[in-house]
Chains A and B, each alone.
Chain A
């Protein structure tokens, strides 16, 4: 395993370099270093889980990758584009190649479920409304929500809302999908169902999934690669087996407290 280094084995069947490449990235909030000299390459066509306890800098890292926040130092490249040199128009275009599932789903409460999923198709891809709704209904079926299109988000359960958010994130057929704590607030059974759905969807589409989570069980279930952030530093990065067998004391301290015995 290589700690805080760029892995050599980045998805051999996918060319064009890593989906996301961070080099010596730092981000401070006042005196607090939220991200401290982080370097990592997230391979294409795989599920990469970025683990860490609360306050470890995971969400800040996600904001840096989406360009919602700018680093104080270092370079962030997404799909080969250096974010710091992109003009606003270029950043908006790049974001159209990315999807994101927010921790609280961020569904539009004033729209029905099908309109939420159709929204990026209509507003971003300029797909005619009828065709967008047809595609949205197909996506809802793929995520296991047939027949719920006319409901409002607040009429759904937590797991169902998560599925709607996934369908919306996939609507524009993005090359990278970012997930912010996808199983947060869900019961174990629903979490397992969402994990299975993510795994199945990624295998079917071959898209790059980046999952930010503190849930080791979930990461163990879905990830091909794992990174561990502690206090803003990347303590480990590599294949799941490499990280799981790490002897780094901080890595072990995090994993041993949370991984079930055996």
Chain B
């Protein structure tokens, strides 16, 4: 019984924290709409894309290759190993590559957003802005949200391309599938709308990972430990939120097709 109370209070605390985190999202959107500084926004967007793309490329390239190996192995007993490209193309472009791309952005750039803002919080740079009569949300959060919203769709498209290249590479070079047929199968079920939907998903996931990371940075505790904890929390929470949102978006967009 005595252990139940702390457990209950921990759950209540976690729920309250989740509610506070979600309540930050409209404020982050508001900060973005108030017109963040142009130069900072452009520089941060370029930085997000340039630093995230190599991570996204590596993660999605190898994921595409792994999906192909598994799909070919699963379909081979039915004589359909050559059709692995179709399964990878569908699942990869519509689900796996956008999610992995957004997760990679969360890990690379979300962590950076959180650590930058947390450092500014613990060194009182954010309070200095407030005392100057400036709005830290507009100056600091707005540009980072815009960078995530613009940069993540770019990373999603790069991830889709890299995943397809990984699938093609492993299919043609290791599994010995016909190169032309493999490439054709990969793209056979994909229409332009799938890529547009992927980019739009990237836009929503970008906003969420940016807002989650920024919020964790802004509420960082004291000292170097506070910065580390905030960064760690930002990555974990952004990954969870991005995964949930990805499922919700897929259900909303593709759920009807399944039915």
Residue among B128, B133, B139 making CB contact with A102, cutoff 8 Å: B128
B121-151 CB contact bits vs A (8 Å, 1 = yes)? 0011101101111110001000000000000
Residue among B119, B123, B125, B131 making CB contact with A68, cutoff 8 Å: B131
Residue among A109, A120, A124 making CB contact with B123, cutoff 8 Å: A109
**Residue of chain B at shortest CB distance from A116:** B128
**Residue of chain B at shortest CB distance from A123:** B134
A93-120 CB contact bits vs B (8 Å, 1 = yes)? 1111011101110111100000000011
Chain A count of residues within 8 A CB distance of the other chain: 23
In the bound complex, CA of A64 to CA of B255 (Å): 53
Report whether B133 and A96 are in contact in the complex, using a CB–CB cutoff of 8 Å: yes
Report whether B124 and A95 are in contact in the complex, using a CB–CB cutoff of 8 Å: no
User: Closest CB-CB distance, A101 to chain B, in whole Å?
Assistant: 10
User: Closest CB-CB distance, A189 to chain B, in whole Å?
Assistant: 26
Q: Which of B124, B130, B133 has the most CB of A within 10 A?
A: B133
Report whether B125 and A124 are in contact in the complex, using a CB–CB cutoff of 8 Å: no
Report whether B132 and A95 are in contact in the complex, using a CB–CB cutoff of 8 Å: yes
Report whether B130 and A95 are in contact in the complex, using a CB–CB cutoff of 8 Å: yes
User: Closest CB-CB distance, A128 to chain B, in whole Å?
Assistant: 15
A218 within 8 A of B: no
B135 proximity list for chain A (CB < 8 A):
92
B128 proximity list for chain A (CB < 8 A):
100, 102, 106, 108
A207 within 8 A of B: no
**Residue of chain B at shortest CB distance from A120:** B132
A-B interface pairs (CB < 8 A), number: 47
A104 proximity list for chain B (CB < 8 A):
123-124
A208 within 8 A of B: no
In the bound complex, CA of A109 to CA of B122 (Å): 13
In the bound complex, CA of A103 to CA of B127 (Å): 12
Residue among A103, A108, A119, A124 making CB contact with B133, cutoff 8 Å: A124
Q: A104-B123, A106-B123, A106-B124 are in contact. Are A98 and B131 (CB under 8 A)?
A: yes
Report whether A100 and B139 are in contact in the complex, using a CB–CB cutoff of 8 Å: no
**Residue of chain A at shortest CB distance from B139:** A123
**Residue of chain B at shortest CB distance from A172:** B132
Report whether B133 and A93 are in contact in the complex, using a CB–CB cutoff of 8 Å: yes
B130 proximity list for chain A (CB < 8 A):
66, 68, 95
Report whether B127 and A102 are in contact in the complex, using a CB–CB cutoff of 8 Å: yes
**Residue of chain B at shortest CB distance from A99:** B131
Report whether B132 and A106 are in contact in the complex, using a CB–CB cutoff of 8 Å: no
Interface residues of B in 216-243 (CB under 8 A from A): none
User: Closest CB-CB distance, A210 to chain B, in whole Å?
Assistant: 13
B139 proximity list for chain A (CB < 8 A):
123
**Residue of chain B at shortest CB distance from A108:** B125
Report whether B132 and A68 are in contact in the complex, using a CB–CB cutoff of 8 Å: no
User: Closest CB-CB distance, B148 to chain A, in whole Å?
Assistant: 19
In the bound complex, CA of A243 to CA of B225 (Å): 41
Interface residues of B in 112-126 (CB under 8 A from A): 119, 123-125
A98 proximity list for chain B (CB < 8 A):
131
Report whether B123 and A96 are in contact in the complex, using a CB–CB cutoff of 8 Å: no
Report whether B124 and A92 are in contact in the complex, using a CB–CB cutoff of 8 Å: no
B125 proximity list for chain A (CB < 8 A):
106-109
A128-150 CB contact bits vs B (8 Å, 1 = yes)? 00000000000000000000000
Report whether A66 and B131 are in contact in the complex, using a CB–CB cutoff of 8 Å: yes
B131 proximity list for chain A (CB < 8 A):
66, 68, 95, 98-100, 178
Report whether A96 and B124 are in contact in the complex, using a CB–CB cutoff of 8 Å: no
Interface residues of A in 146-198 (CB under 8 A from B): 172, 178
Report whether A106 and B133 are in contact in the complex, using a CB–CB cutoff of 8 Å: no
In the bound complex, CA of A173 to CA of B161 (Å): 55
A123 proximity list for chain B (CB < 8 A):
132, 134, 139
**Residue of chain A at shortest CB distance from B125:** A106
A residues touching B (Cβ–Cβ < 8 Å)?
A: 66, 68, 92-96, 98-100, 102-104, 106-109, 119-120, 123-124, 172, 178
13 contacts between A and B (CB under 8 A): A68-B127, A68-B130, A98-B131, A102-B127, A104-B123, A106-B123, A106-B124, A106-B127, A107-B125, A123-B134, A123-B139, A124-B133, A178-B131
In addition to A92-B135, A123-B132, 19 A-B residue pairs with Cβ atoms within 8 Å of each other are A66-B131, A68-B131, A95-B130, A95-B132, A96-B132, A100-B128, A102-B124, A102-B127, A102-B128, A104-B124, A106-B128, A107-B125, A108-B128, A119-B132, A120-B132, A124-B132, A124-B133, A172-B132, A178-B131
The 10 A-B pairs of least Cβ separation, nearest first, read A96-B133, A95-B133, A106-B124, A106-B128, A92-B133, A100-B131, A102-B124, A120-B132, A106-B125, A66-B131
